[in-house]
Amino acid sequence: ETQAMHWSNGSVVTLKNGTMKAAANVDRLKMAMQNYGTLTIDGMTMDFTNVPQNFYGTYTGAYAKYSELEVPSFCTNSTGSIIIDNSTLTFNAASNYGVYVESTATISGSTINGTVALSTDNAAATSTATITGSTVSGGVVAYFAGDCIVNDGDDFTVYASAESAQTAAAALNLEAQVGNNFYTKFENAIPALRNGDTIKLLGDVDIERQVNSFYNVTLDLNGYTISNTVDIWNDSVAAKTWSLIS
């Protein structure tokens, strides 16, 4: 009664070439989707702005870590996987978590108006997202407090501890760090910034597109340099670009 869509473990589902929109004022609606199967979304426009922000209650035992957390509205659980291709997904602006992933997600040629949230609530204690040719307005974030994101190019992996994340990040050519989250691309760290965050450079950065943050943040250059060698000022793609960072 609380989920608009539910795909069970073992199911293989493709949604393609259409439009879906959550209706307004549906009192019981808590989640747009709960996916335990193999799901492909291809050429879809999906509008979930009418799915309200909801929160879990207070729990004990195995589910205690969910106490008072926001309920993600578009979930792929530990037995599932999701491919999003050439699609646009829009979530309620009040929601902190859009596409929630406990396993694997592959996102290409798409626009996510919201976040991609990676969770460690599975046997492997990691989950991954590969994002190419896409825009994720709210960035890739960890669902549980204390979990840490490591970005390697187009790949994002969440770890259940700072130590695990630091071990994974040590072998990478990193450009930036935000808390215990590590990024090989400075630009990939920007969408996930929130008020009060500090983004610290871990190497010299050559920016190839304008980066924007709409929060009160601190940029710690840490002795490194930000530069630009690709002309982004008057090309047709970025005709309105007027600064590297704003």
DSSP 230: S
Q: What is the pLDDT of residue 239?
A: 52
Give the mean model confidence (pLDDT) for residues 55-66: 91
pLDDT classification of 228: cutoffs 50, 70, 90: confident
Strands 31-35 and 81-85, bridge-based pairing: unpaired
Please report the DSSP string for 105-164 in residue order: EEEES-EEES-EEE---STTSEEEEEEES-EETT-EEESSTT-EEEEETTEEEEESSHHH
Average pLDDT, the chain: 90
Q: Which of 2, 3, 48, 1 is nearest to 24 (CA)?
A: 48
Handedness of CA 104, 213, 152, 42 (dihedral sign): positive
Strands 81-85 and 38-48, bridge-based pairing: parallel
211 vs 185: CA distance, rounded Å = 12
pLDDT digits (tens, 9 = 90+) for 79-97: 999 999 999 999 999 999 9
pLDDT digits (tens, 9 = 90+) for 120-152: 987 778 899 999 999 999 999 999 988 999 999
pLDDT above 70 coverage of the chain, percent: 93
